[in-house]
Chains A and B, each alone.
With several copies, the nearest count.
Chain A
Amino acid sequence: MSMFLSLKDAVARFVRSGDRVALEGFTHLIPFAAGHEIIRQRLTDLTLIRMTPDLLYDQMIGSGCAKKLIFSWGGNPGVGSLHRLREAVEKQWPAPLEIEEHSHSAMAHAYAAGAAGMPAAFFRGYRGSDLAKVNPNIRFITCPFTGESLAAVPALRPDVGIVHAQQADRDGNVRVSGIVGVQKEVVLASARVIVTVEEVVDRVADGGSNAVVLPSWTIDAIAVVPGGARPSYAHGYYQRDNAFYVAWDAISRDRDAFRQWIDTHVHGVAAEVR
């Protein structure tokens, strides 16, 4: 059952060094504030899970939070490479980063399988791809009806799932609108769940609306963090800060510029203010 906590307390209480952690949000609703709090609390040895590691994971990897990354596309969308991720993979800085690499379809199926209480996901995938040669977690089964070979990947079941959403009601139910990505799946697949929200409202749902609503009993902590997805965006609240995505390219190319940015914009800010 969800409880309202400060972001600082939510992270302190529900995230531990060594955890398998998924911060999700498909371009939209990326939980930057929560990721920054993880950096601030200097958590380490995390297995970071995310379909599209982008600026937030670049920041977390560059800050030394991660020992492993499970992902399917790592880039700065519309801009270019993630320099901190590349340096971790290519030069083991600030530490070696083990990677487990999938396709988007595999990750989406694996989150859905986690939400559905399945040990694995089965799908038509990875046919003719070398990914199956470098990732031992890509296996194949034979369809018992057609004899066809089908791909299998383990269900994703993070220790902690973290998402940002637009609204929570006073009972702690949460609503996500717009591009919903895998927000519902990561919440339902995770053992512990933190949701940051833009605001608290009286009602998150109306009869018959088929909205994407997460009941309070699927969530552990809710932190009210207006702007908690910046520089990504929150449908109905604020736009994506495209200029920052472009600016990140230069900041992240250089270790010192990167460190300075983290010192100033993450460690230098209190959790509540960010």
Chain B
Amino acid sequence: MSTTTNDVTYTATEMMTVAAARALTNDDVCFVGIGLPSAACNLARLTHAPRLKLLYESGTLETKPQVLPLSIGDGELCETALTTVSVPEMFQYWLQGERITIGFLGGAQVDRFGNLNSTVIGDYAAPKVRLPGSGGATEIATGCQRIYIVMRHNPRAFVERLSFQTSLGHGPTGRERRALSVHTEGPALLVTDLCVMKPDAETNEFCVVSIHPGVTREQVVAATGWPVRFAAAVTVTPAPNTAELEALRDLNARTAKAHGSSSGAADL
């Protein structure tokens, strides 16, 4: 699907990536996952946030890849890093040590409070679909100051009830973080290919705050498995500008050339 705004034509994935990138600042230290988060983080670094610090769980600190990595441990990440530490050190000193301001997460399922499932669909002992599992997600969800979620919006993914809660968002009733002595902020932003959502200040339920150009409220409602709420003032997400699109497309082109495919931008 592509959209044209002010003579600029872009895909829904490009809109999503640009919207996620805009949330990042020069002061952030990001724990980056492969796929959409990696594209968004590197786009931010290549545009408005050149001093953004990117860390990958392979132990690469402050890495500046010229192409998007296919895996979390690509050589490119190490060669362009300030330094590379062991994986235990990454999880002990850097993630658990709360050095990270933003953790990016996705998953197969998200609920209205930003809780995430990346483990199984169906029963754990006899799953319908066995997913990759937690990886770093479970502790990223509690160890980073804030969590940004990036996911494609459809009713199988945006569900009333998770099959399995791999990673804590605001908890099943939206209020569990404090009870679990988790003092980090939790999910603060949910960017999809249809809209941008933020948690309600009172209830922590994710509500739509802006809708991407060309998308309707009805589409958002239809794509959400719970009765989705809209903020009092819903805006239209500013469309990608030419500088953002150019940087993103250059990055994807370099990546495709380096890897022989555009798989760097695949979700997983």
Establish whether A and B are touching in the complex (CB under 8 Å).
yes
User: Is B66 close to A, CB under 8 A?
Assistant: no
In the complex, chain A residues whose CB is within 8 Å of the CB of B58: 26-28, 179, 181
Of A207, A213, A246, most buried by chain B (CB within 10 Å of CB) is A207
Q: Are B73 and A210 in contact, with the CB atoms below 8 A?
A: no
A71 to chain B: closest CB distance in Å? 7
Q: Are A179 and B59 in contact, with the CB atoms below 8 A?
A: yes
Bound complex: CA of A148 vs CA of B183, how far in Å?
A: 12
User: Is A104 close to B, CB under 8 A?
Assistant: yes
Bound complex: CA of A144 vs CA of B87, how far in Å?
A: 25
B259 to chain A: closest CB distance in Å? 5
In the complex, chain A residues whose CB is within 8 Å of the CB of B88: 108-109, 111-112, 182, 185
In the complex, chain A residues whose CB is within 8 Å of the CB of B125: 134
Q: Are A103 and B139 in contact, with the CB atoms below 8 A?
A: yes
Task: Given A115-B93, A123-B96, A131-B166, decide whether A242 and B78 contact each other with a Cβ distance below 8 A.
Answer: no
Bound complex: CA of A211 vs CA of B78, how far in Å?
A: 12
User: Is A137 close to B, CB under 8 A?
Assistant: no
User: Is B230 close to A, CB under 8 A?
Assistant: no
Q: Are A78 and B268 in contact, with the CB atoms below 8 A?
A: yes
A171 to chain B: closest CB distance in Å? 9
In the complex, chain B residues whose CB is within 8 Å of the CB of A71: 133
User: Is B34 close to A, CB under 8 A?
Assistant: yes
Bound complex: CA of A182 vs CA of B57, how far in Å?
A: 12
User: Is A118 close to B, CB under 8 A?
Assistant: yes
Residue of A nearest to B259 (CB): A242
In the complex, chain B residues whose CB is within 8 Å of the CB of A130: 119, 124, 164-166
- Per-position 1/0 for A202-226, Cβ under 8 A of B: 0011011111110101100000000
User: Is A57 close to B, CB under 8 A?
Assistant: no
Which of A179, A208, A213 is close to B73, meaning CB atoms less than 8 Å apart? Answer: A179
Q: Are A27 and B73 in contact, with the CB atoms below 8 A?
A: yes
User: Is B60 close to A, CB under 8 A?
Assistant: yes
Q: Are A181 and B86 in contact, with the CB atoms below 8 A?
A: yes
User: Is B143 close to A, CB under 8 A?
Assistant: yes
User: Is B48 close to A, CB under 8 A?
Assistant: no
Residue of A nearest to B164 (CB): A130
Q: Are B81 and A207 in contact, with the CB atoms below 8 A?
A: yes
Which of B61, B75, B91, B264 is close to A104, meaning CB atoms less than 8 Å apart? Answer: B91
Q: Are B53 and A179 in contact, with the CB atoms below 8 A?
A: no
Which of A74, A108, A215, A235 is close to B53, meaning CB atoms less than 8 Å apart? Answer: A215
Q: Are B78 and A208 in contact, with the CB atoms below 8 A?
A: yes
A54 to chain B: closest CB distance in Å? 9
In the complex, chain A residues whose CB is within 8 Å of the CB of B3: none
Q: Are B91 and A105 in contact, with the CB atoms below 8 A?
A: yes
| Chain A interface residues toward B at CB < 8 A | 26-28, 51-52, 71-75, 77-81, 85-86, 89-90, 101-105, 108-109, 111-112, 115-118, 123-131, 134, 148-149, 173, 178-182, 184-185, 188, 204-205, 207-213, 215, 217-218, 233, 235, 239-240, 242-243, 245-246
Question: Nearest 6 CB-CB pairs, A to B?
Answer: A27-B73, A128-B168, A73-B135, A77-B71, A75-B132, A207-B79
Q: Mind listing 29 A-B residue pairs with CB under 8 Å?
A: A27-B72, A28-B58, A72-B133, A74-B133, A77-B70, A77-B71, A78-B34, A78-B69, A78-B266, A80-B266, A89-B127, A89-B130, A103-B137, A103-B138, A104-B134, A128-B115, A128-B142, A129-B165, A131-B134, A134-B125, A178-B84, A181-B58, A181-B86, A182-B88, A205-B82, A208-B79, A209-B83, A210-B83, A212-B83
